[in-house]
Structure 1
Amino acid sequence: MATSGTVGTLSGSWGSTYRVTWSLVSQNIANNTSTIRLTSTFHTTNTTKIASTYSNFVTDGTVMYSGAYSKSGAGNIFSKTKDITVSHNADGTFPGRSVSFSTNDYIMGNKSGSGTISGVTTIPRSSSISSISGSSLGSSVTVNISRASTSFTHKVEYSFAGSSYTTATSSAATSATFTPSLSLANHIPNATSGTLTVRVTTYSGSTQIGNAVTKTQTLSLPGSVLPTLSGVTLTRVDNGVPSSWGVYVQGYSKVTATIAGASGIYGSSISGYSLSGAGYRSSSNSLTTGVLNSTGTFSFSGYVTDSRGRSSSSMTSAQFVVYEYFPPSISVSAQRCTSDGTISSSG
């Protein structure tokens, strides 16, 4: 990139020239502008005395010299300067600046010219996000920043799945690390991953430089984020058995199994159930068996599935026992006997 150059030159009589050059004086990073100095020089190589009754030299709309002059010997007749401020493009590059100049002089004659100031050093602008590392909500995420000037600082913000932005830091240099809360999963009740958007705003002191830049990263929910249930409850159905017995009886009793306390997590809802035990299975949160015809110890297991498609861990009820049962019976027989009780067909 350039810091100086020549705009243009006009030539006149007796080895005279009118030349306009430019040089970079300073740059304002905050305002994205450059101060450029235009130098207008009238020079002659003639060694004799020269004089003019009238002269007028104009550069960039400004009269650099007007009036009579005289000089003996070669050299500069005059050299004048003018500072101009030029705004750079949004990305900090120089847009180019056209400069016109003219003479109306005894030696130079009535002439005009123009030229362009170009290639001025680019002004550092918005930093960029070079990379984002991190894959899960609830775990650390690191943002790496490529900055155009070592004096720049950055405000780092993040949003997950359309949430409002949260500020991670307002003074990052080249990186920032933060941990997006698991509670942000409330914004993805039907998915196991979502999009993290990181926004970086560049500052020079307290002045914002350019526009904020963004970059995205997909973050997943940890495998530990699952729906829950408090357990499976069992209710005895006596079905004719005296309730005072307080037991399950073979051939009579039934049981109702119910999933209790099912709950989604971080915004998810329960979308499915699974109950199984004692030879029965149901996709609802409750089932009642038929008559329990087998004896022994039985149990029920329950699962729930949430709107993210994740299932809870197994929950097993307390065991229940079905007892064997034989109805009471009586057996009667009759035979002839004598008066003393001796069996006799003629008794």
Structure 2
Amino acid sequence: MAVFYSTIGSLTLKVEYNYSSQHINENTSLVSYSVSLETAYGHWNKQNISQLTINIDGRQIYTGIHNFDLRGVNSFVLKKGTYTVNHNNDGTKLSDIYVTFNTDTTRIMNFSVRGNLSLPKIPRASTLGDVTGVLGKQMTLSIQSSSNSFVHNLEYKFGEIEGTIARGIATNVQWTPSIELANQIPNALSGKGLIWVNTYQNSKLVGTKQVNLVLSVPDSMVPTFNNITLIDSHSKANTLLPENIFIKGISNIKATVTDAIGVYGSKINSYRIEILNKVSNMTTTNGGTLGLMDYTGTHKLKATITDSRGRTASKIIDIVVLDYFSPVFSFRAERSKTDVKQIDTYRHIRIAPLMVNGVQRNHIQVSFKYKLSTESTYKDDINSTVNNIIEQVGFHQRLINSLRADKAYTLVMTVSDAFSTASSEILLNSEKVVMSYAKEGIGIGKVWEHGSIDSAEAIYAFDKQIQHHKLTENNGSIKESNKSINDIRETGFYFVKKDNPANSPFYGLLSVFHTGGKEAMQNYQTYDGARQFSRCSNYSTGEWSNWIELSTSVKKPWISSGVSNIFYKLDGNTMHVRGYVKSTSSGVVKIGAVPSQYVPQNLMFVVAEWNSFGDRNVHLQVDGTGTMSLLNVLSNMEYSFNISWGI
């Protein structure tokens, strides 16, 4: 109880303020108060004109007119009663009482008394700290209860899912959030929710507290896939070799991840399939190809999938890349010493040994054809296939057909393996004689067939052997060939198209210099002279090096993009675009196009707006088709640019 006084002269106003009881569910307390006058001398006012006012916590709870008579007594009670006080949300309360009294007697006395009373704290709704946990993993929720008489119900909401954690618990509870809640966050590693702590006393709700809930998916929650399927996009290689074995320079692996699925609502967002440590052999398309391989041996192929949560799953398998080179061969032919009409051939052949588990998967196929040297039509002869060997050295084989002794023939041997074909021809002279005469000419060491002088051996002039190798056609023009450039090693000048380094659909000029063994040098020039290339082959293996493009000093002209004042040109491996545009409207302005083969990808460049402030840029876009556009331009503005990119 609290007692407060105010004294004027011999008269005292006494205020008693007392706590009575509390109501927990309502968060209120019942207080009592008593206002009285005390004196040792008689004071009175019997006219009911003395004003009494009582305020509790700033609220007037009573005002009224009183009389009082202290004659013969020491104390006179003016007013007493009870009042319900509301507590703060945390259950605390410092209650204030303020009383005023005007005696309105001959000697007017105005009393005022102010005081306060600290009320017992009322237990409030229990609390719980913010909760962070992992789906599928048990956690302990510790409730901070204000009273031993409280019980609690815990509810939660996560995404669209609501549920009950526990009912009727006092303090702690063990909770394992269901792994199925991961379906509510298919695109994130964690999500936010809410937990409500409902506090009860005697089955009546005291209050509710809301706390934050953060749940994350476990580390083990990753997407899955079944296997990596590899198919060689080169049909012959795919048929010839078992799975996961490929051929250098021939195979182009088509890689597919099978049965890739997300987990608990996630989706597969991306794929990456690569040969480890080989940056050029990679695809981000499921079912895409990895590109040709320029190496051999055992290598690791890795497939990785990524789901919408950013989680990944990977598998690694081994692949084997076998070495390969085109068939290398030579041959000679001579007439039989016992029957000059019979032709004996002797050949040396070596092919790439595609060995798998001790079994040679490559094969040699040899065929011969012949014609009279003065004619153009060939006739077929031997056609044979040899399996399980990689080399023939000095192998003897006689032609099936007999060839006239008095005629010279052109003999062609063609060698094929599983992937390549190459041919070589020689001249088979007629039967040897010292000299023969004909109306049109003389034969030296052979029967005459054509020309003024038809010699079976080398011809000397001034004690020196003349040049017998044919570098050009008889009329001096270069030789036209339909062979692959890769198969031309004989010194000479050629007009060729197949497998040219410029990837041109037109014929170009090829110079070949054979230096001995399997070594040769090639120089290639496009027909317009704009591009030149050079390479050489290995002396021992005959394997060609990569082409090197030689720079030229020819100044190339600018070409119109199809729009006025916009031009482009290709300089080596660099594309240049320059131009000037004055816009007539805002938005997108098309500025023509460049050939699509010179656009390696979608491109975007920054172009400054031509104004006195220099404070605004727009973007120049080049899409995959070569179409160029200026984006977000303003009307009646000028734009000048000179951009370039590598191809």
TM-score, normalised relative to structure 2: 0.41
Residue 8 of structure 1 corresponds to 5
Q: For the Cα contact (< 8 Å) 2:17–2:117, is it kept in 1?
A: no
Residue 271 of structure 1 corresponds to 269
Counterpart amino acid of residue 203 in structure 1: Y
Q: Which moved more, 1:36-45 or 1:100-109?
A: 100-109
Cα distance in structure 2, aligned partners of 1:6 and 1:26: 18
Residue 124 of structure 1 corresponds to 123
Q: For the Cα contact (< 8 Å) 1:44–1:77, is it kept in 2?
A: no
Counterpart amino acid of residue 304 in structure 1: I
Cα distance in structure 1, aligned partners of 2:18 and 2:246: 105
User: How far has the Cα of 1:288 moved from its partner?
Assistant: 4.5
1:54 to 11, 29, 46: 46
Cα distance in structure 2, aligned partners of 1:242 and 1:302: 20
SS in 2 for 1:186: helix
Q: Which moved more, 1:141-150 or 1:89-98?
A: 89-98
Q: For the Cα contact (< 8 Å) 2:45–2:103, is it kept in 1?
A: no
Residue 27 of structure 1 corresponds to 22
Residue 228 of structure 2 corresponds to 232
Residue 82 of structure 1 corresponds to 81
Cα distance in structure 1, aligned partners of 2:291 and 2:18: 98
Cα distance in structure 2, aligned partners of 1:107 and 1:155: 66
Q: Which moved more, 1:253-262 or 1:51-60?
A: 51-60
Counterpart amino acid of residue 190 in structure 1: N
2:258 to 257, 260, 271: 260
Cα distance in structure 2, aligned partners of 1:242 and 1:67: 120
1:171 to 154, 168, 173: 168
Q: Residues 34, 242 of structure 1: CA spacing in aligned structure 2 closer, same or farther, 3 A cutoff?
A: closer
Structure 1 residues 1-347: aligned runs within 5 Å:
4-11=1-8, 13=10, 17-45=12-40, 54=46, 58=52, 60=54, 61=62, 71=72, 75-78=74-77, 81-94=80-93, 96-102=95-101, 104=103, 111-130=110-129, 132=131, 135-160=133-158, 162-195=159-192, 197-210=194-207, 212-216=209-213, 218-235=214-231, 239=235, 256-276=254-274, 281-288=282-289, 302-314=303-315, 324-329=361-366, 330=384, 331-333=397-399
User: How far has the Cα of 1:264 moved from its partner?
Assistant: 1.4
Counterpart amino acid of residue 126 in structure 1: A
User: How far has the Cα of 1:272 moved from its partner?
Assistant: 2.1
Counterpart amino acid of residue 233 in structure 1: T
Q: Which moved more, 1:282-291 or 1:254-263?
A: 282-291
User: How far has the Cα of 1:289 moved from its partner?
Assistant: 6.8
SS in 1 for 2:264: coil
Q: Residues 127, 107 of structure 1: CA spacing in aligned structure 2 closer, same or farther, 3 A cutoff?
A: farther
Q: Residues 295, 138 of structure 1: CA spacing in aligned structure 2 closer, same or farther, 3 A cutoff?
A: same
SS in 2 for 1:183: helix
SS in 1 for 2:93: coil
User: How far has the Cα of 1:276 moved from its partner?
Assistant: 4.6
Cα distance in structure 2, aligned partners of 1:153 and 1:176: 12
Cα distance in structure 2, aligned partners of 1:333 and 1:53: 157
Q: Which moved more, 1:113-122 or 1:101-110?
A: 101-110
Cα distance in structure 1, aligned partners of 2:246 and 2:116: 103
- The Cα offsets for residues 125-156 of structure 1, whole Å up to 9 and x where unpaired, read as 23332575x64221122222222222233332
Q: Residues 241, 79 of structure 1: CA spacing in aligned structure 2 closer, same or farther, 3 A cutoff?
A: closer
Cα distance in structure 2, aligned partners of 1:145 and 1:247: 65
Residue 341 of structure 1 corresponds to none
Cα distance in structure 1, aligned partners of 2:202 and 2:2: 32
Cα distance in structure 1, aligned partners of 2:235 and 2:222: 38
Residue 342 of structure 1 corresponds to none
Cα distance in structure 1, aligned partners of 2:107 and 2:171: 57
- The Cα offsets for residues 147-203 of structure 1, whole Å up to 9 and x where unpaired, read as 22222333323344x555433124332223312222323343333234454333333
TM-score, normalised relative to structure 1: 0.71
Q: Residues 135, 114 of structure 1: CA spacing in aligned structure 2 closer, same or farther, 3 A cutoff?
A: same
Q: For the Cα contact (< 8 Å) 1:254–1:291, is it kept in 2?
A: yes
Cα distance in structure 1, aligned partners of 2:157 and 2:144: 21
Cα distance in structure 1, aligned partners of 2:296 and 2:220: 38
Q: For the Cα contact (< 8 Å) 1:305–1:311, is it kept in 2?
A: yes
- The Cα offsets for residues 254-276 of structure 1, whole Å up to 9 and x where unpaired, read as 76432111111223222222335
Cα distance in structure 2, aligned partners of 1:314 and 1:300: 8
Q: For the Cα contact (< 8 Å) 1:21–1:40, is it kept in 2?
A: yes
Cα distance in structure 2, aligned partners of 1:7 and 1:39: 10
Counterpart amino acid of residue 306 in structure 1: D
- The Cα offsets for residues 228-258 of structure 1, whole Å up to 9 and x where unpaired, read as 1122335576735998x99789878876432
Cα distance in structure 1, aligned partners of 2:66 and 2:171: 51
Cα distance in structure 1, aligned partners of 2:120 and 2:126: 17
User: How far has the Cα of 1:21 moved from its partner?
Assistant: 0.6
- In structure 1, the gaps of 5 or more residues are 337-344
RMSD in angstroms over aligned alpha carbons?
4.6
Q: For the Cα contact (< 8 Å) 2:130–2:211, is it kept in 1?
A: no
User: How far has the Cα of 1:20 moved from its partner?
Assistant: 1.5
Q: For the Cα contact (< 8 Å) 1:234–1:317, is it kept in 2?
A: no
Q: Which moved more, 1:28-37 or 1:304-313?
A: 304-313
Q: Residues 298, 145 of structure 1: CA spacing in aligned structure 2 closer, same or farther, 3 A cutoff?
A: closer
Cα distance in structure 2, aligned partners of 1:197 and 1:169: 15
For the pair shown, which has the larger CA radius of gyration, 1 or 2? 2
SS in 1 for 2:180: helix
Q: Percent identity?
A: 28
SS in 1 for 2:181: helix
Q: Residues 318, 179 of structure 1: CA spacing in aligned structure 2 closer, same or farther, 3 A cutoff?
A: farther
- In structure 2, the gaps of 5 or more residues are 55-61, 321-354, 367-383, 385-396, 404-431, 433-647
SS in 2 for 1:91: coil
